[in-house]
Protein backbone atom coordinates (compact mmCIF):
# COMPACT_ATOMS: atom_id res chain seq x y z
CA UNK A 1 0.00 0.00 0.00
CA UNK A 2 1.28 3.47 -0.86
CA UNK A 3 1.62 5.92 2.02
CA UNK A 4 -0.05 9.28 1.42
CA UNK A 5 2.12 12.21 2.39
CA UNK A 6 0.63 15.36 3.84
CA UNK A 7 1.74 18.65 2.30
CA UNK A 8 4.06 20.74 4.45
CA UNK A 9 2.77 24.26 3.80
CA UNK A 10 5.59 25.80 5.84
CA UNK A 11 8.17 24.16 3.53
CA UNK A 12 6.17 25.14 0.45
CA UNK A 13 6.16 28.73 1.67
CA UNK A 14 9.91 28.56 2.31
CA UNK A 15 10.44 27.21 -1.21
CA UNK A 16 8.56 30.18 -2.68
CA UNK A 17 10.67 32.58 -0.60
CA UNK A 18 13.90 30.93 -1.77
CA UNK A 19 13.08 30.94 -5.47
CA UNK A 20 11.94 34.56 -5.39
CA UNK A 21 14.91 36.03 -3.46
CA UNK A 22 16.37 37.80 -6.50
CA UNK A 23 13.10 39.00 -7.98
CA UNK A 24 13.59 42.47 -6.48
CA UNK A 25 16.51 42.88 -8.92
CA UNK A 26 14.10 42.35 -11.82
CA UNK A 27 11.16 44.57 -10.95
CA UNK A 28 8.23 45.23 -8.66
CA UNK A 29 4.74 43.79 -8.42
CA UNK A 30 5.80 40.55 -10.12
CA UNK A 31 3.69 37.44 -10.17
CA UNK A 32 4.01 33.70 -10.27
CA UNK A 33 1.60 30.89 -10.98
CA UNK A 34 0.65 27.69 -9.28
CA UNK A 35 -0.92 25.06 -11.52
CA UNK A 36 -3.07 22.15 -10.44
CA UNK A 37 -3.02 19.54 -13.18
CA UNK A 38 -5.90 17.07 -13.19
CA UNK A 39 -8.94 16.30 -15.30
CA UNK A 40 -9.88 19.96 -14.78
CA UNK A 41 -6.61 21.94 -14.70
CA UNK A 42 -6.62 25.14 -12.67
CA UNK A 43 -4.22 28.06 -12.55
CA UNK A 44 -3.67 30.47 -9.64
CA UNK A 45 -1.75 33.72 -10.14
CA UNK A 46 -0.31 35.47 -7.11
CA UNK A 47 2.29 37.94 -5.92
CA UNK A 48 4.85 35.99 -3.84
CA UNK A 49 5.61 39.13 -1.82
CA UNK A 50 2.06 39.18 -0.43
CA UNK A 51 1.84 36.74 2.47
CA UNK A 52 -1.96 36.51 2.35
CA UNK A 53 -1.91 35.57 -1.36
CA UNK A 54 0.80 32.94 -0.81
CA UNK A 55 -1.09 31.41 2.13
CA UNK A 56 -4.37 31.28 0.17
CA UNK A 57 -2.73 29.69 -2.88
CA UNK A 58 -0.92 27.09 -0.78
CA UNK A 59 -4.13 26.15 1.04
CA UNK A 60 -5.89 25.74 -2.33
CA UNK A 61 -2.96 23.66 -3.61
CA UNK A 62 -3.15 21.34 -0.59
CA UNK A 63 -6.88 20.80 -1.12
CA UNK A 64 -6.46 20.17 -4.85
CA UNK A 65 -3.55 17.81 -4.23
CA UNK A 66 -5.67 15.85 -1.74
CA UNK A 67 -8.26 15.39 -4.51
CA UNK A 68 -5.62 14.00 -6.88
CA UNK A 69 -4.23 17.06 -8.68
CA UNK A 70 -0.52 17.28 -9.47
CA UNK A 71 0.77 20.67 -8.27
CA UNK A 72 3.41 22.73 -10.10
CA UNK A 73 4.65 26.31 -9.69
CA UNK A 74 6.40 28.63 -12.09
CA UNK A 75 9.84 29.53 -10.78
CA UNK A 76 10.72 32.64 -12.75
CA UNK A 77 8.94 36.00 -12.53
CA UNK A 78 6.09 37.08 -14.74
CA UNK A 79 5.17 40.71 -15.15
CA UNK A 80 2.58 42.55 -13.08
CA UNK A 81 -1.03 41.47 -13.26
CA UNK A 82 -3.15 42.52 -16.19
CA UNK A 83 -6.91 41.90 -16.38
CA UNK A 84 -6.62 38.88 -18.70
CA UNK A 85 -4.03 37.16 -16.48
CA UNK A 86 -6.69 36.41 -13.89
CA UNK A 87 -8.43 34.10 -16.37
CA UNK A 88 -5.61 32.36 -18.26
CA UNK A 89 -2.47 30.40 -17.53
CA UNK A 90 0.95 31.98 -17.96
CA UNK A 91 2.67 31.56 -21.29
CA UNK A 92 6.41 31.50 -21.95
CA UNK A 93 6.23 35.06 -23.30
CA UNK A 94 4.86 36.27 -19.93
CA UNK A 95 8.09 35.33 -18.11
CA UNK A 96 10.31 38.41 -17.92
CA UNK A 97 13.56 36.99 -16.49
CA UNK A 98 15.33 33.78 -15.52
CA UNK A 99 16.32 34.07 -11.88
CA UNK A 100 16.64 30.36 -11.08
CA UNK A 101 17.57 27.22 -12.98
CA UNK A 102 16.43 23.70 -12.26
CA UNK A 103 17.91 20.33 -13.09
CA UNK A 104 15.35 17.56 -13.37
CA UNK A 105 16.86 14.36 -11.98
CA UNK A 106 13.95 11.97 -12.35
CA UNK A 107 15.81 9.04 -13.95
CA UNK A 108 17.45 6.32 -11.86
CA UNK A 109 20.98 7.29 -10.76
CA UNK A 110 20.93 10.93 -11.91
CA UNK A 111 20.27 12.47 -8.48
CA UNK A 112 22.90 10.25 -6.87
CA UNK A 113 25.54 11.51 -9.33
CA UNK A 114 24.75 15.22 -9.00
CA UNK A 115 26.83 15.98 -5.88
CA UNK A 116 30.01 14.75 -7.59
CA UNK A 117 29.37 15.59 -11.23
CA UNK A 118 27.41 18.85 -11.24
CA UNK A 119 29.16 21.72 -13.04
CA UNK A 120 27.97 24.19 -10.40
CA UNK A 121 27.08 23.73 -6.75
CA UNK A 122 23.34 24.25 -6.21
CA UNK A 123 22.02 26.77 -3.72
CA UNK A 124 19.49 24.17 -2.59
CA UNK A 125 18.01 20.85 -3.68
CA UNK A 126 14.46 19.57 -3.55
CA UNK A 127 14.13 15.81 -3.17
CA UNK A 128 10.71 14.77 -4.41
CA UNK A 129 10.98 11.09 -3.58
CA UNK A 130 13.17 8.23 -2.41
CA UNK A 131 11.23 5.19 -3.65
CA UNK A 132 11.98 3.44 -5.91
CA UNK A 133 15.05 5.70 -6.16
CA UNK A 134 16.17 9.21 -5.15
CA UNK A 135 14.84 11.95 -7.43
Looking at per-residue pLDDT, the higher value among 74 and 110 belongs to 74
Q: Rounded to two decimals, what is the model's pTM?
A: 0.76
Note the pLDDT tens digit of each residue in 83-103.
666 667 888 888 888 887 777
Note the pLDDT tens digit of each residue in 98-134.
887 777 677 777 777 777 777 777 777 777 677 776 6
Backbone angles phi, psi at 42, to 5 degrees: -130, 150
What are the beta bridge partners of residue 106? Answer: none
Instruction: From 18, 59, 20, 52, select the one nearest 36 (Cα to Cα).
Output: 59
- For residue 46, the model assigns a pLDDT of 92
**Is it the case that residue 2 has pLDDT exceeding 70?**
no
Note the pLDDT tens digit of each residue in 13-63.
999 999 999 999 999 889 999 998 888 888 899 999 999 999 999 999 999
Q: Cα dist. 62→24, 43, 58, 75 in Å?
A: 28, 14, 6, 18
- For residue 87, the model assigns a pLDDT of 63
- For residue 126, the model assigns a pLDDT of 73
What are the beta bridge partners of residue 31? Answer: 78
Backbone angles phi, psi at 131, to 5 degrees: -120, 130
At residue 1 the predicted structure's pLDDT band, cuts being 50, 70 and 90, is very low
Amino acid sequence: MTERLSPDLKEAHRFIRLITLKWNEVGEDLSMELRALSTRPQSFRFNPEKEDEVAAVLRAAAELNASGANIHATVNPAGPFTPDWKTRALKDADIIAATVTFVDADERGIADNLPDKALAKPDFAVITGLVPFTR
